């Protein structure tokens, strides 16, 4: 007798089964759906609270699930290399193979001091990539929710197959985040050409070749770039609300051009732009700032002009704005902007920071 046949609930009519499983916890519901193709189908017919599914591969590969109405709880599906420290294993069928697994619950404090409860389903790492893809597809079906985040840490070229897989069934996603020392232009172009990122695209990577060229807009609201090949033309052909470039190739003349385009009406969405340039030595600050302000009508910025003192990040964190001296500009549609620069030395490198904020004029 197989596991489904011994499960008395499944002898009931389908409507009765649906009513019984509707209030199961996240992992109870997942376990029910893993019993067979039939239970997977039954689970997929239940309208539950929408769940947010995140895919993360790197040193700690996992899928994690969150419910918007339960912000202090997360359900993690962890793929662990060594399961020997754990006890009380339960067999679960994953991708056609029965594996030993276990569930753990623990409470930790988050960065802001709030207590977070983590429910962890721990699985072995055998056949990791295929099992992660299989489990992701299973979650999408039974929870009737799209993948919200695709995160790859320590990117290596073979890992592009995750994006090749993802684009076969989902091309719109809230977040994509890639970290790694090298990515080919071909792989980066594949991601840019095949996905619409609805909230934030983060690419903290180094390009392994010099053939990158991209002329289309990337109109995701927030964009974080970590490679210098993303130049002035790339910024100008998109209309992002937030742009941060951690290894910018823009010169002071380019920054001056960017400001002039904004004054001329470019990008009504822009609220924050940050550029970090690595320079050989601490440049003459006044001369650089004069180049940035050249032929621009500006005034001294004062605190009462309405400039926000902080911005809320998409992960809920708070980013405090630079409070040093700013130059202020205004354009015909009532938008105001303030920009500033400063230098810092990190790991023997001299970094030139440029910050730009824009906001709607407040009538007094």
- Binned at pLDDT 50, 70 and 90, residue 302 comes out as confident
Rounded average pLDDT over 204-220: 93
Domains of the chain, by residue range, sit at 1-145, 214-364
The pLDDT value given to residue 124: 92
- Binned at pLDDT 50, 70 and 90, residue 1 comes out as very low
Model's pTM, two decimal places?
Answer: 0.90
Rounded average pLDDT over 43-57: 94
- Binned at pLDDT 50, 70 and 90, residue 218 comes out as very high
- Number of helices (H), then strands (E), belonging to the chain: the values are 9, 18
Of 337, 246, 253, the closest CA to residue 289 belongs to 253
SS (H, E, C) 59-105: CCCEEEEEECCEEEEEEEEEEECCCCCCCCCEEEEECCEEEEEEEEE
pLDDT at 288 over 60: yes
**Alpha carbon of residue 330 to chain centroid:** 32
| Model pLDDT for residues 175-202, shown as the tens digit of each residue | 999 999 899 999 999 999 999 999 999 9
The pLDDT value given to residue 364: 60
Integer Cα distance of 55 and 170 in angstroms: 13
- Between 8-12, 16-20, 133-137, 288-292, the lowest mean confidence (pLDDT) is in 8-12
Integer Cα distance of 346 and 126 in angstroms: 41
The pLDDT value given to residue 3: 52
Rounded average pLDDT over 334-355: 92
Rounded average pLDDT over 239-252: 96
The pLDDT value given to residue 7: 59
The pLDDT value given to residue 39: 92
The pLDDT value given to residue 111: 67
| Model pLDDT for residues 69-108, shown as the tens digit of each residue | 888 899 999 999 888 888 788 889 898 898 989 998 989 8
Integer Cα distance of 27 and 31 in angstroms: 6
Cβ burial 20-55 (10 Å sphere, 16+ → b, else e): ebeebebbebbbbbbbbeebeebbeebebeebbbbb
Residues 6+ apart with CB under 8 A from 153: 56, 57, 58, 59, 179, 180
Rounded average pLDDT over 22-51: 92
């Amino acid at each position: 007798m197989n596991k489904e046949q011994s499960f008395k609930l499944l002898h009931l009519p389908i409507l009765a089964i649906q009513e019984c499983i509707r209030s199961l916890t996240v992992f109870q519901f997942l376990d029910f759906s893993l019993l067979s193709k039939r239970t997977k189908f039954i689970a997929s017919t239940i309208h539950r609270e929408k769940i947010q599914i995140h895919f993360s591969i790197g040193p700690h590969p996992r899928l994690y699930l969150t419910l918007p109405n339960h912000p202090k709880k997360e359900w993690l599906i962890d793929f662990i290399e060594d399961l020997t420290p754990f006890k009380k294993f339960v067999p679960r069928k994953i991708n056609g193979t029965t594996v030993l697994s276990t569930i753990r619950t623990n409470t930790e404090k988050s960065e802001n001091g709030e207590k977070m409860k983590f429910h962890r389903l721990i699985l072995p790492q055998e056949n990791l990539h295929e099992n992660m893809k299989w489990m992701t597809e299973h979650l999408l079906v039974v929870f009737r929710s799209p993948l919200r985040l695709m995160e790859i840490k320590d990117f290596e070229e073979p890992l592009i197959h995750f994006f090749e897989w993802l684009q076969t069934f989902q091309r719109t996603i809230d977040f994509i985040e890639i970290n790694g020392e090298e990515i080919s232009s071909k792989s980066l172009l594949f991601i840019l050409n095949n996905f619409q990122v609805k909230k934030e695209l983060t690419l903290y990577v180094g390009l392994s070749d010099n053939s990158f060229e991209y002329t289309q807009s990337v109109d995701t609201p927030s964009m974080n770039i970590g490679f210098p090949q993303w130049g002035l033309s790339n910024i100008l052909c998109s209309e992002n609300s937030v742009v941060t470039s951690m290894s910018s190739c823009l010169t002071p003349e380019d920054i001056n051009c960017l400001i002039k385009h904004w004054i001329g009406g470019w990008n009504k969405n822009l609220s924050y732009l940050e550029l970090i340039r690595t320079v050989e030595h601490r440049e003459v600050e006044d001369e650089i700032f004069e180049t940035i302000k050249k032929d621009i009508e500006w005034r001294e910025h004062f605190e009462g002009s309405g400039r926000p003192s902080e911005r809320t990040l998409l992960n809920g964190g708070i980013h405090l704005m630079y409070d040093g001296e700013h130059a202020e500009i205004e354009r015909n549609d009532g938008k105001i902007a303030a920009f500033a620069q400063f230098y810092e030395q990190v790991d023997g490198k001299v970094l030139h920071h440029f910050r730009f904020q824009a906001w709607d004029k407040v009538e007094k």
